[in-house]
Amino acid sequence: MFSKILVANRGEIALRIIRAAKELGIRTVAVYSEPDKQSLHTLLADERICIGPAPASESYLNIPNIISAAEITKAEAIHPGYGFLAENPRFAEICEAEGLVFIGPPASIIQMMGDKNQARRRMKEAKLPVIPGSENVIEDFQEAKKIAQKIGYPIILKAASGGGGKGMRIVTSPRQLEEQFSIAQSEAQASFGNPALYLEKYLISAHHIEIQIIADNYGNVLALGERECSIQRKHQKLIEESPSPFLDEKTRKKMARAAEEAAKTIGYKSLGTFEFLVDNQKNFYFMEANTRIQVEHPVTEMLYNVDLVKEQIRLASGEKLSLDHSLRPRGHSLECRINAEDPEKFIPSPGRIEFLVLPGGPGVRVDTAAYSGWIIPPYYDSLLAKIITHAPTRQEAIAKMHTALEMTTIVGIQTNLPLHLKILSSSDFLSGRYDIQFLEKFLAQGKGPRGPKT
Ligand code: MV4
Active site residue 292: yes
Distance CA 198, CA 132 (A): 11
Bridge partner list, 213: 223, 272
**The pLDDT value given to residue 162:** 86
pLDDT score recorded for residue 82: 98
Which residues of the chain carry a pLDDT beneath 50? 453-454
Q: Do 181 and 174 contact (CB within 8 A), yes or no?
A: no
Closest residue by Cα to atom 11, ligand 1, is 165
Binding pocket residue ranges, ligand 1, CB within 6 Å: 131, 156, 164-165, 200-203, 206, 208, 232, 235, 275, 277, 287-288, 436
Q: Which residue out of 200, 287, 434, 440 has the highest number of ligand 1 atoms within 8 Å of its CB and is therefore the one to mutate?
A: 287
User: Which atom of ligand 1 sits closest to the CA of residue 229?
Assistant: 26
CA atoms within 13 A on the CB side of 426: 24
pLDDT in tens, 356-377: 999 999 999 999 999 999 999 9
- Residue-level pLDDT at 450: 67
pLDDT the model gives residue 165: 74
Residues 277-304: pLDDT tens digits?
999 999 999 999 999 999 999 999 999 9
Nearest-CA residue for ligand 1 atom 12 is 165
Q: pLDDT tens for residues 318-368?
A: 999 999 999 999 999 999 999 999 988 999 999 999 999 999 999 999 999
Give the chain's largest Cα–Cα span.
62
Residue 165 C-alpha to ligand 1 middle, in angstroms? Answer: 6
Name which residue sits closest to atom 8 of ligand 1, judged by CA: 165
Residues 380 and 59 sit within 8 Å (Cβ to Cβ): no
Whole-number Cα distances in Å, 86 to 92, 100, 332, 389: 8, 15, 29, 27
Cα(277) to centroid of ligand 1, in Å?
8
Distance from the alpha carbon of residue 120 to the mean position of ligand 1, in angstroms: 15
Axis crossing angle, helix 297-304 with helix 308-316, rounded to the nearest 10: 100
The predicted-structure confidence for 224-241, as pLDDT tens digits, reads as follows 999 999 999 989 999 999
Question: Considering 48, 292, 314, 337, which one is annotated as catalytic?
Answer: 292
* Cis peptide bond N-terminal to 243, omega within 30: yes
Q: Give the pLDDT of residue 451.
A: 62
As a whole number, the mean pLDDT across the chain is 96
Under DSSP, the state recorded for 35 is: G
Atom 20 in ligand 1: residue holding the nearest Cα: 436
Domains of the chain, first to last: 4-103 (3.40.50.20), 132-201 (3.30.1490.20), 207-444 (3.30.470.20)
Phi/psi at 152 (5° precision):
90, 150
Q: How far is CA 73 from CA 25, 46, 69, 315, 416, in A?
A: 17, 11, 6, 22, 39
223: closest CA among 246, 242, 245? 242
Distance 20 CA to ligand 1 centre (A): 33
The strand ranges marked E within 17-80 are: 27-33, 47-52, 77-79
Cα 324 to Cα 104, 213, 274, 306, 328: the distances in Å are 20, 12, 19, 12, 10
Task: Compute, in angstroms, the gap from residue 412 CA to the centroid of ligand 1.
Answer: 35
Nearest to 292 by CA among 320, 272, 316, 269: 272
Distance (angstroms) between ligand 1 centre and the Cα of 113 equals 17
List of E strands, 264-363: 270-278, 284-290, 332-339, 351-352, 355-357
Residue 204 CA, closest ligand 1 atom number = 3
Question: What residue owns the CA closest to ligand 1's atom 19?
Answer: 436
Q: Can you give the pTM of this predicted structure?
A: 0.96
Q: In testing the pocket of ligand 1, which one of 87, 134, 168 has its CB within 8 Å of the most ligand atoms?
A: 168
Q: How many CA atoms lie within 13 A of 65 on its CB side?
A: 19
Please give the pLDDT value at position 164: 72
| Rounded distance between C-alpha atoms, residue 415 and residue 344, angstroms | 10
Give the number of other Cβ atoms within 10 Å of residue 34's Cβ.
15
